[in-house]
């Protein structure tokens, strides 16, 4: 079964310095029908104004992935990590038993556009940790590139969760498929462009929830960037 959530149906918050779309209930946006999907709890599409950002705040027992679309995201945390996350990089922060961090757009003129993704961990109380890796456009062009997994397979970042995250770039005749376990759940989020998901047309900001499906097929794309999640049910 496949169900589509259109971009305009997401929650939205405009804080001036931050404009954020919420795929699932988050902060001031609450919808009991959209509390997550499997162990995928948060997908926030954030745009941070130049010279702005999230001040130091805490997280606990959550796997948090940052995926930058444009601009750069500055990160600092209480375990001594300081990094800039550019487009193409995937950052994983394991909050574990507790971590403090900040996220900032240090650019004087350019907006930072990124996705903040939370996945519920399969183990709690671990030492907090951080990992960041680069996945180039050619690695993702015309295919789904594994970027996060429980075992760090194929050079992906390692998450402490029963989930796999893929990133793909598709255009024109390019297509991609992924074998699914019907007993699990899958989620597709279209970052930009247009693409069909198992024959259903989606645009940027749209998402598809899949359950009981044995395969995922992406085709008929126009300058599409997609995120795909294979999730515990």
What is residue 10's predicted lDDT score, i.e. its pLDDT?
98
Average pLDDT, integer, range 166-188: 98
> Taking 90 as the threshold, does the pLDDT of residue 233 lie above it?
no
Average pLDDT, the chain: 97
What is residue 17's predicted lDDT score, i.e. its pLDDT?
97
What is residue 90's predicted lDDT score, i.e. its pLDDT?
98
What is residue 101's predicted lDDT score, i.e. its pLDDT?
95
66-88 residue pLDDT tens: 999 999 999 999 999 999 999 99
**37 DSSP 8-state letter:** B
10-45 residue pLDDT tens: 999 999 999 999 999 999 999 999 999 999 999 999
Query: What phi, psi does 4 have (nearest 5°)?
Result: -110, 135
> Taking 90 as the threshold, does the pLDDT of residue 3 lie above it?
yes
> Taking 90 as the threshold, does the pLDDT of residue 231 lie above it?
yes
Average pLDDT, integer, range 182-186: 98
What is residue 68's predicted lDDT score, i.e. its pLDDT?
97
What is the C-alpha separation between 151 and 158, in angstroms, rounded?
6
Please count the other Cβ atoms lying within 10 Å of the Cβ belonging to residue 200.
13
Task: Name the token pair of 101.
Answer: 């961090």
> Taking 90 as the threshold, does the pLDDT of residue 48 lie above it?
yes
104-143 residue pLDDT tens: 999 999 999 999 999 999 999 999 999 999 999 999 999 9
CATH number listed for the domain at residues 2-231: 2.60.120.10
Query: Is the Cα dihedral 95, 101, 107, 112 positive or negative?
Result: positive
202-220 residue pLDDT tens: 999 999 999 999 999 999 9
Contacts 24+ apart (CB under 8 A), 82-90: 83/130, 83/132, 85/114, 85/132, 88/134, 88/135, 88/136, 88/137, 89/132, 89/133, 89/134, 89/135, 90/65, 90/66, 90/132, 90/133, 90/135, 90/147, 90/148, 90/156, 90/157, 90/165, 90/167
> Taking 90 as the threshold, does the pLDDT of residue 52 lie above it?
yes
What is residue 147's predicted lDDT score, i.e. its pLDDT?
98
Domain edges within the chain: 2-231
* Predicted model pTM: 0.97
Task: Name the token pair of 220.
Answer: 């008929």
Q: Given the structure tokens 């971009």, which residue do they identify? A: 7
């Amino acid at each position: 079964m496949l169900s589509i959530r259109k971009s305009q149906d997401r929650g939205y918050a405009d804080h001036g310095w931050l404009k954020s779309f919420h795929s699932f209930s988050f902060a001031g946006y609450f919808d009991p029908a959209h509390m997550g999907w499997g162990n995928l709890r948060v997908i926030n599409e954030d745009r941070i104004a130049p010279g702005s950002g999230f001040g130091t705040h805490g997280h606990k027992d959550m796997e948090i992935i940052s995926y930058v679309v444009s601009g750069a995201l500055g990160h600092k945390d209480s375990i001594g990590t300081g990094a800039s996350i550019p487009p193409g990089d995937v950052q994983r922060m394991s909050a574990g038993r507790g971590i403090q961090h900040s996220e900032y757009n240090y650019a004087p003129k350019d907006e930072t556009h990124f996705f903040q993704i939370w996945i519920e961990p399969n183990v709690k109380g671990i030492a907090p940790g951080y990992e960041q890796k680069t996945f180039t456009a050619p690695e993702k062009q015309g295919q789904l590139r594994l970027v996060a997994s429980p075992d760090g397979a194929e050079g992906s970042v390692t998450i402490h969760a029963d989930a796999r995250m893929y990133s793909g770039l598709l255009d024109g005749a390019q297509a991609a498929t992924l074998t699914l376990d019907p007993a699990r759940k899958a989620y597709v989020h279209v970052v930009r462009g247009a693409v069909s998901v198992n024959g259903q047309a989606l645009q940027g900001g749209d998402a598809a929830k899949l359950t009981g499906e044995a395969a995922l097929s992406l085709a008929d794309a126009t300058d599409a960037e997609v995120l795909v999640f294979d999730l515990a049910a």
